Structure 1
Amino acid sequence: MRNLLIFSVVIFVLLALTVIGDLVPHERSRWALIDSLITGKGFEVDQHKAGLDVAEFDGHYYSVFSPGLSLLLTPYIFLARILFGSGFSEILAVRLLSIAVTTFSAIIIYKLLLRFSSRRSAMISTMLIIYATPIYAFSETIFSHIYVMYFLVLSLYNLLNLEKISSRMIVSISLAMTFLIEYQSIITFSPIYIYCILRRRRLRDIIYLIPLLIVLGFHLYYNLTFFKHPLNFPEKFWIGYPSRPAKPSYMFSTPPHLGLYMILFSPENGLFIISPILLFAILGFKHLWRRNRWLTILILSLWLISLLLFSTWHLPWGGSSFGSRFLIPLIPTLSIPFSFIIDNKLKDSNPLRIFPLLIITFYSIATSTLGAITSPDLLFNCVMYSLIVGGIRCLPLAWIKPNPIISIAYWITITATISCIIAYLSFWKKQY
């Protein structure tokens, strides 16, 4: 318990050191909806506050996103506004909440990995999943992916113990929450429902679909109320970019092979370009297959469906963002096969075989830290330029004017700190 507490504090503090210190609210459409809900204007938003992610219907403007996350955050932001006032204080409050959610996700990932590997491997794998991937850059934003990630890892953790009623309820509620936050979750996480059905095969377990049906009813009622038809989702009425108005036929217009390249290997957003450390997880699937074939098939199915869906989306990588943000909820699923590789490497005393992994690890941490201290709204090939010209945007140094030397020094310091902690865990001989 003591080690877990220390580990949790370390995760939170390192995330807090890169919390963005400016007044820019990411996902303006969600902020606009929250502001409307707090001020009693209902679900209609101010077009100018909401930015581009707006749906227009009968002369009224609405957030193009599911209202779920905004509804969940409204009481918290309302309280922050009462206590500290509006403006930066409420933005900072949400960023700290997102960091806390990311920390809780890390704890669940760690506890999940303890079922497959040693404590040391679980700690190292968890830290790499958080700090050596785009999760780091989005860990303190209002983007929905971090919150969906939390509920996904919570459901995965409880999937391994479906014989308990409490575990089945947690899985049921967690999946319903992902659907409340993001519409596409009902498609991308459908393998989990199939997994539960095939593992249980009991008709009475249909009761666990009730939370999902409640959320589905909410979405259909929301659509009927504001868009005059239960199947008229806000995305259908997205106003689009000024130069390219939205059309339903345009939504899935990217050739799949091009979309996969953009998501995984492009220098602008490619997941494996930013975090090549994740490639080692592919090697770990053969070990996971020997331990748990059902779980292996489930994880691969989750990735297959998401890659097929988002590779054809009109913005496969998620617009101007650091990495393929649509894949962020799924990245923790790779921690399980990845932990097998870490476990094997920790037992390997040959430094020549470990050295390539160390180099790739350091590179992945350094690139992910770049996104964390600049902005999650920047493409990967722009973050270094932004760091040098615009400086870092972290709260601890927000009072300093843009200075390339200080900015680069802070980047190196954060990268070195995380790398040293992981190296300490890797080479400390005490058995966990």
Structure 2
Amino acid sequence: MKRWIQRARPAGDALQSLVDGLAEELGRSVVLDDPLVRMICTSRHFGDEDRVRVRTLLQGVADDETIRYVLSQGVAQWTRPGYLNGRDDLGLQPRYCVPILERGHVLGILMVVAKEGDLAAVDTGAIDRTARAVATEMYAERLASDAVEERTGNLVTRLVGADSAVRCEARRRLLDDGLLPDGPHVVVTNAAVSGVRGPSGQVEVALRGALEPHRQTRTAHGLAAIGPDRAVLVQVFDREPADEDLELQSRGIVRSLETFLDQGTTTVVGVGGRRTELADAWISHDQARVAVRAARRLPRLGGIGDWESLGEYAVLLQLPDDALNDSLVPKPLRRLLDGGPHARLEETLRCFLENAGSVPRTAEALEVHRTSLYYRLRQIQEITGLDLDDGAHRLVLHLGLRAWDLLRDPAGRPA
């Protein structure tokens, strides 16, 4: 299945021929990038190569810092050609950049190395002619690819939707068309972006680019549905993915989106539970949505939530937003949390509850003498009025602390 954002193309491709022809005419290095500054095709060197160009050719993609710099200059939103200033610290020489535009679509960026920062009119004329030809080629491919992406995206959306009949039909079509296998290991990942200040459509392009490497891997077959500010990735793995592998994949998605988008953007990723059949992808999807909420509300997760490790947070996070409020924090616990400088007692209570009420393990974890621990526990009981030997009371306190965590903003203050 062909995608409109790709890596380097075969040398015989029409785009490659256009780029090579322009480079020979100018006697300069030329590269065609996609809107995320990832190389589509490039010419040979003409003695004007810089460190960025060499690294990109060796790696197949520019490094994150270079991509961030180019995008920060707004090149992907330019409506007319212009010069991109060089950066000595990056090893980047100036480039003459032409946005490849066709009927309102930003298809790519044509870049010509321009050490002196000034091209003759005859050169810019040749670049402009080539850019128009490139736009025609890329637009035809874009239309064909968009039709495929729209169809597969709709199937993914239906597969994880609320209507069971629609889900069954989507699954049947995915299997019949050979787009996804039926198992044995199905995982749904959700990515959500907020706080974007750039032009409309920028997030969709970034989401598409961030998920592209994970659609087809050595161990998984995947399809994605891309929306204006969020995306759903359904993957079917040949073998059960390790938690560490899914975390690494999620961090890669976050890192890519942070590279492609403005610094003020917030990106979170949620990973659903592992299922064994494509028919259960909707369950993993619902769990991934809960994991996204966890990633938003719990700064310690670093923007990545995994259903399998949420524990009791998963129960609380299935409440609607209007129900997830201060009323979930029991009054006895509130007396402890609001009662002044009790940070040490809060830490002690958390450790005691997470160690199943074991005094020896709690004392060891806190590195305090048991006598000191007993003193703190008596203080907690006096302030809360609850009996820490009572399992029901401990449950109230434990869930209350989890609710308190979810009601805090990233600075640690109650939301």
TM-score by length of 2: 0.24
Q: For the pair shown, which has the larger CA radius of gyration, 1 or 2? A: 2
Larger strand percent: 2
TM-score by length of 1: 0.24
Give the number of the structure with larger relative contact order, counting CA–CA contacts within 8 Å between residues 6 or more apart.
Answer: 1
